[in-house]
Chain A
Amino acid sequence: MKAISSVSGRAYPLGRENIDTDIIIPAKWLKTISRSGLGEGAFETIRAEEGNIFDDPEYAGSPILIAGDNFGCGSSREHAAWAMADLGIEAVIAPSFSDIFSGNAFKNALLAIELPQEAIDRLMEVAKSDPIHIDLENQVVTTAFQDRFPFEMDPFRKNCLLNGLDEIGLTMQRDDAITDHEAGLQQGQPWLVPAQ
């Protein structure tokens, strides 16, 4: 995973609630066996709307997306995070995220930042004309207008993001503990290995 400590730039002011992963990337794009190239299908149904923000030159290439409550609900498809990354988005700011999406975003070094609705409302205004700055190290979102919105971040995730740690590699270092656990199961719950 690539290391990430801050994101600065313009933001797409999407603002809508309940953006599900079918909206982020429709199912027809999921036939791929690769992680790349999904930006083309990202937000396809929204991009079919005239005057949508994703095709507005004002916001072209913005690294931040601002959305409403319950962002990323629905399907577990990690293609949603891949598609957003392929579009050049490095961070999403919303009042809340679905559990699965926030995990998928984390695995792809896409920051999923929760801020209260009032902060979102303010950032939606700023985003129309000015950039937004996200400082992961200090856990704060700021603007050129002295706005300052601190956010929460799981310490484990923060450490992985700041240092670009490979989670599988980390877990494999715990192989002895996993093997011990399996030995215990073999003893206490031998039925856990399926009958063949």
Chain B
Amino acid sequence: MPKTLYQKIWDAHVIESNGDTALLYIDRHLVHEVTSPQAFEGLRNAGRIVRRPDLTLAVPDHNLPTTARMDPSGTIIPIADPQSAAQLAALEKNTAEFGVQYIGATDRNQGIVHVIGPEQGFTLPGTTLVCGDSHTAAHGALGALAFGIGTSEVEHVMATQTLMLSQSKSMEVRVNGALNKGVSPKDLILHIIGEIGTAGGTGHVIEYRGKVFEEMSIEGRLTVSNMSIEGGARAGLIAPDEKTFAYLKDRPMAPKGAQWDAAVQYWKTLHSDEGAKFDKSVIINAADVAPSVTWGTSPEDVVPITGHVPDPMSFADPSKQAAAQKSLDYMGLSAGTKMQDVEIENIFIGSCTNSRIEDLRAAASILRGRSKADSVKWAIVVPGSGLVKEQAEAEGLDTIFTQAGFEWREPGCSACLGMNPDKVPAGERCASTSNRNFVGRQGPGSRTHLVSPAMAAAAAITGKLTDIRDM
């Protein structure tokens, strides 16, 4: 019987199954400071060890300030917030105690966990990969079955290298045709979430299919798969291909020599078979996708940049009408306002969705020789990793950003989630390349508009949400 890609990876990892629940082997585990301390404590209290420290990789990202980490003499600058400092110290201590591989805050390889996994070649096609973070879905871009887990599951994986799971359903998101000029992978995934809704993929693993994804770069695929969770799907998948293999070849933790050849042979079998059945199928026409932006407090609140703030009464469902009105009140927007008239005070380019080198190049290409509007008070670029930062600096992108009035920061999650010092002030708007526009996400009272890196750059220049195609 023809199998989906998801089914193939699932089957290859089932150790035992009792009908509804399977014991699934986990090949890769990424760990960060926020969702791991209680898991390490649980192991310690029970006298347990990390079963496979060689398959576990830890790095600080969420809580870590993105300002300079060392002074000019190379001395480490202490972290001001005592709670953050304690949580970061706990990760360092726990990884040393349990023998887990650790990339420290001042290591040149440090970065956002979902940027460094692929970058180091830790993420591989056909593997099961988990992390105590919902955006683990990103790694599906390389054909890994990758999903976010809670802290109890982090502890379970550390102790046993397995998880008890019931299998999800499969969902195909097929995009036909080609994307128009000025439309990026971020616009496409925002459009998809707008179509399926934030619960559209709940209980499912999404496989993204169609020529658009075949032609998309690996970094673009990472942006798309990253936001699968915003559509409710715990994981996204894109079948690995020659682009995937070329991306991974010679990465530090990727297989080498004869093992590489054997791996590629296996990876070539990882695609949905002709005639494989999906439980759910959504077809999107690529030509319908415009540069996209969110107006509300849910990632499904998407309109084209040429659109308007919707009228809450335009929603059929009374509970949706009430939710939309609440969103507009929070966002300080009125129905009918043109999105391009919305003024922006803050710009954030970064996050596990859009902080890779192609994202920075896209933003820099708009900003080259231009400056941010005076009305834009705060504009920051936060590279996804130390290696992305080095590459950008080698290409002179940092100079373009700083000359345009942006701050050039150290790698981390930054203003995506309002738990480190980078926050958007209450009542102010931010054009943000991150993934969530929830109430208070970028700081209490913050108002987020999700956009692509090029659109964030364009908004910085005009001080308003702007159609990149006009720049």
User: Which A positions have Cβ atoms within 8 angstroms of B?
Assistant: 16-18, 20, 22-23, 26-28, 30-35, 45, 68-70, 73-79, 81, 96, 98-100, 103-104, 107-108, 154-156, 167-168, 170-172, 174-175, 177-178, 180-182, 185, 189-196
Contacts and interface: CB of A to CB of B under 8 A. Distances in A.
B234 A100 contact: yes
Contacts of A81: 150
Contact of B25 (A27, A70, A178, A195): A178
A76 B46 contact: no
A28 B419 CA distance: 5
A108 B253 CA distance: 35
A177 B46 CA distance: 22
A194 B83 contact: no
A167 B156 contact: yes
Contact of A26 (B168, B252, B418): B418
Interface string B262-277: 1100100000000000
B434 to A, nearest CB: 12
Nearest to B156: A168
A103 B150 contact: yes
Interface string B235-252: 000000000000000001
B152 A104 contact: yes
20 contacts: A17-B323, A22-B440, A30-B419, A33-B87, A33-B90, A68-B319, A73-B199, A76-B35, A76-B148, A99-B202, A100-B134, A100-B149, A103-B150, A107-B152, A168-B156, A168-B160, A174-B23, A180-B15, A194-B253, A196-B253
Nearest to A68: B319
A17 B160 contact: no
B196 to A, nearest CB: 12
B166 interface: yes
Interface in B12-27: 15-16, 18, 20-21, 23, 25, 27
B254 A195 contact: yes
Contacts of B229: 74, 100
B322 to A, nearest CB: 8
Contact of A177 (B23, B42, B83): B23
Contact of B436 (A45, A68, A74): A74
A73 B232 contact: yes
B252 A195 contact: yes
Given A33-B38, A78-B150, 4 more contacts: A45-B444, A154-B166, A156-B164, A177-B15
A155 B20 contact: yes
A189 B81 CA distance: 45
A183 to B, nearest CB: 12
A168 B133 CA distance: 20
B82 to A, nearest CB: 9
State the 4 A-B residue pairs at the shortest beta-carbon distance, nearest first.
Answer: A191-B255, A107-B152, A78-B150, A27-B419
Interface of B: 15-16, 18, 20-21, 23, 25, 27, 34-35, 37-38, 41-42, 46, 48, 54-55, 62-63, 81, 83-84, 86-87, 90, 121-122, 124, 127, 132-134, 136, 147-153, 155-156, 159-162, 164, 166, 168, 198-199, 202-203, 229, 232, 234, 252-256, 259-260, 262-263, 266, 298, 319-320, 323, 417-419, 436, 438-441, 444
A168 B147 CA distance: 19
Contacts of B441: 22, 27
Contacts of B159: 168, 171-172
A69 B150 contact: no
Nearest to A99: B234
Nearest to A194: B253
Given A18-B298, A156-B21, A178-B25, A76 B149 contact: yes
A41 to B, nearest CB: 11
Given A30-B419, A31-B87, A177-B15, A99 B252 contact: no
Contacts of B419: 27-28, 30-31
Contacts of A70: 198-199, 202, 232
Contact of B439 (A33, A45, A170): A45
B418 to A, nearest CB: 5
A1 B347 CA distance: 45
A193 to B, nearest CB: 6
Nearest to A48: B444
A178 B15 contact: yes
A132 B84 CA distance: 41
Contacts of B34: 30-31, 77
